[in-house]
A and B are shown apart, each in its own frame.
Chain A
Amino acid sequence: MRWLLIAALLVALAGCGDDDELVVSAASSLTEPLTTCSGDDVKLAFGGSDELAAQIRQGVKPDVYAAANMELPNELYEEGLLEEPLTFAFNELVIAVPDGSEITAVGALARPGVKLAIGAETVPVGSYTRAALSRLPPEQERKILGNVRSEEPDVKGVVGKLTQGAADAGFVYRTDLVDGLKAVALPQRLQPNVAYGAAAVKGAGDDARRYLASLNGGACAEALRAAGFGTP
């Protein structure tokens, strides 16, 4: 039945695609640097890394997949859907608070009445957040998780709830901070290793490999550094 449906949609959509375009599915936290460094012939599709991975599992075929963690590309590689992934960037998980906020340390998030917005467990930023909190004393972790008011499907949702003044604090990547928000750094012992992995999708052409080379030391690597990412 699924094939029938896909066939029907393909017939309906025939002619909409352009074979010359390189399609890159990328984590939404990569929006700014990849938009800067990619040429006109590259079509960028941003979304939650998990959502993009689910699309690839359902048969969607971009040429390159760039995720906000290594787990998802590694899983897809083991499932035979991707070529071998490489680590191309690093990020830092921080507590984001509005400019005038009095929150200066992770401990303050456990206070009663603090409203937190975090990523859902299913997106990388959400699992990094839970990993970081799990290194706190259990009592403190429990109190902080009890202050969570929303589990957003991607980083942009967390940032939006903060800039709107709905949430008092949230966990985001350092590169996601916007005007009006400031970062409270996490202690080193809580900091998860936020590594970004990318790979060519099985069956992609040479232009996919050229794009990966640009991510790994080319123009896109420069754009990533300019946007505040670490690169290998």
Chain B
Amino acid sequence: MRSAWFGIATGVALAAALAFLTLPVVAIFVDSPPADLISALGEEGALDALWLSLKTTAAALAIIVVVGTPAAYLLATRRFPARALVITLVELPLVLPPAVAGIALLAALGPSLTFTTGAVVVALTFVASPFYLRQAQAAFASVDRSWLEASRTLGASEARTFARVAIPTAVPGLMAGGALALGRALGEFGATLMFAGSLQGVTQTAPLAIYQRFSTDFDAALALSAVLVAVSAAILLTAKLFGGWDAADRR
């Protein structure tokens, strides 16, 4: 009897979560007929914004992966003083409101970078990298220590062990982290607006273009939103296909 009650309660909770999380996304597509979608994309500026979003997100992700992978490996495999503090500090942007991130970037990097595409990449990298670092660190931490030791015993250098044993084993987790960081970067709004500004083709990413259209042309805003949903869903699906995302599910 007790377990039946609990089963119903968890079922209701899942149904509520599912409805709440999917309804707004479904509404975007219900409210925007496919023909409108296509014509809205033909509008000057919409494609610019999408293209800029893809370019800046790709650049940010490249920086995050190149720097974040060895950094996460070190955090996962070594014990050093103040390690917990370092982990907390690199995770801090996760809980910062985007407006705070924007102010902080302005204060730290000054206005010289503002109004450039580079500033967009910096803002995206800042807000998205903790997502990758967290996942990558967890992925490296769950690599069997004895494999790494076997590799060293067989004469492989530390770098070779990292490249040939640790990374291939951790790939699912790294992919999952990359997908999370990519999703966060693609959706970045507040920090970009405050730190980089908003100008078509230079700093106006898709979320900023959506915000600008929201007031005057709700249909165009919906259409651009629908495209962003589709792109994000495609990224999520790719990450799952490559085996990364739900590694936790199969363990």
A→B interface (CB under 8 Å): 1-2, 4-5, 8, 48, 50-51, 53-54, 57-58, 115, 117, 120, 122-123, 148-153, 157, 160-161, 164-167
Residue pair A57, B218 in contact (C-beta under 8 Å): yes
With contact pairs A1-B31, A2-B31 given, residues A117 and B19 touching in the complex (Cβ less than 8 Å): no
Is B71 an interface position by the 8 A CB rule? no
Q: Is the CB of A166 within 8 A of B214?
A: no
Interface residues of B (CB under 8 A from A): 19-20, 23-24, 26-27, 30-31, 106, 110-111, 114-115, 193-194, 197-200, 202-204, 211-216, 218
Cβ–Cβ < 8 Å partners of B212 in chain A:
120, 122, 151, 153
Contact of A161 among B197, B204, B216 (CB under 8 A): B197
Give the distance in Å from the alpha carbon of A157 to the alpha carbon of B214 in the complex.
17
Residue pairs across A and B with Cβ atoms less than 8 A apart, 30 shown, are A1-B30, A2-B31, A5-B23, A5-B24, A8-B20, A54-B214, A57-B218, A122-B216, A123-B215, A148-B199, A149-B115, A149-B197, A149-B199, A149-B202, A150-B114, A151-B198, A151-B200, A151-B204, A151-B212, A153-B193, A153-B198, A153-B211, A157-B193, A161-B197, A164-B106, A164-B114, A166-B114, A166-B115, A166-B197, A167-B115
Residues of B within 8 A of A122 (CB): 212-213, 215-216
Question: Which residues of the other chain, B, contact A2 by a CB distance below 8 angstroms?
Answer: 27, 30-31
- Nearest B residue to A51 by beta-carbon distance? B215
Q: Give A74 Cβ to nearest chain B Cβ, in Å.
A: 15
3 nearest CB pairs, A to B: A150-B197, A50-B215, A166-B111
Contact A120 B218 (CB under 8 A): no
Interface residue from B26, B27, B199, B213 paired with A150 (Cβ < 8 Å): B199
Contact yes or no, A48 B215, CB < 8 A? yes
Do B23 and A8 touch (CB < 8 A)?
A: yes
Please give, as numbers and ranges, the residues of chain B lying within 8 Å of A157 by CB-CB distance: 193-194
Q: Which of A54, A151, A166 makes the CB contact (< 8 A) with B218?
A: A54
For A126, give the chain B residue with the smallest CB separation.
Answer: B212
Q: Report B203 CB to chain A, min CB distance, Å.
A: 7
- Expressed in whole angstroms, the Cα–Cα distance for A171 and B221 within the complex equals 26
**Closest chain A residue to B114 by CB distance?**
A166
Bound complex: CA of A161 vs CA of B193, how far in Å? 10
The distance in angstroms between the C-alpha atoms of A164 and B214, with both chains bound, is: 27
| A51 vs B213: C-alpha distance when bound (angstroms) | 10
Q: How far is the CA of A115 from the CA of B114 in the complex (A)?
A: 10
Q: Give the complex CA separation of A51 and B199 in angstroms.
A: 19
B213: which A residues are within 8 A, CB to CB? 122
Q: A53-B215, A166-B114 are in contact. Are A150 and B203 (CB under 8 A)?
A: yes
The minimal Cβ–Cβ distance linking A226 to chain B, given in whole angstroms, is 29
Given A120-B198, A151-B212, 8 extra CB contacts under 8 A: A149-B114, A150-B199, A151-B197, A151-B198, A151-B199, A151-B204, A166-B111, A166-B197
Q: How far is the CA of A186 from the CA of B203 in the complex (A)?
A: 29
Q: A123 vs B212: C-alpha distance in the bound complex, in angstroms?
A: 9
Nearest chain A CB to B202's CB is how many angstroms away?
8
Contacting residue for A164 out of B23, B26, B111, CB 8 A: B111
Q: Chain A residues with Cβ under 8 A from B204's Cβ? A: 151
Identify the closest chain B residue to A47 (Cβ). Answer: B215
Task: Let me know if B215 and A8 touch, CB within 8 A.
Answer: no
Contacts of B211 in A (CB 8 A): 153
Q: Which residues of B contact A167 (CB under 8 A)?
A: 115
What is the bound-complex CA distance between A39 and B187, given in angstroms?
Answer: 38
CB of A10, distance to nearest CB on chain B (Å): 13
The docked-state distance in angstroms from the alpha carbon of A166 to that of B196 is: 9
Chain A residue contacts of B199, Cβ below 8 A: 148-151
Instruction: State A95–B199 Cα separation when bound (angstroms).
Output: 20
Set of chain A residues within 8 Å of B20, measured between Cβ atoms: 8
Query: Which of A5, A8, A51, A152 interacts with B214 by CB under 8 Å?
Result: A51
Bound together, the chains give a CA A4 to CA B202 distance in angstroms of 38
Selected from B23, B115, B194, B197, the residue in CB contact (under 8 A) with A4 is B23
Q: Which residues of A contact B24 (CB under 8 A)?
A: 5
- CB-based contact B197/A117 at 8 Å: yes
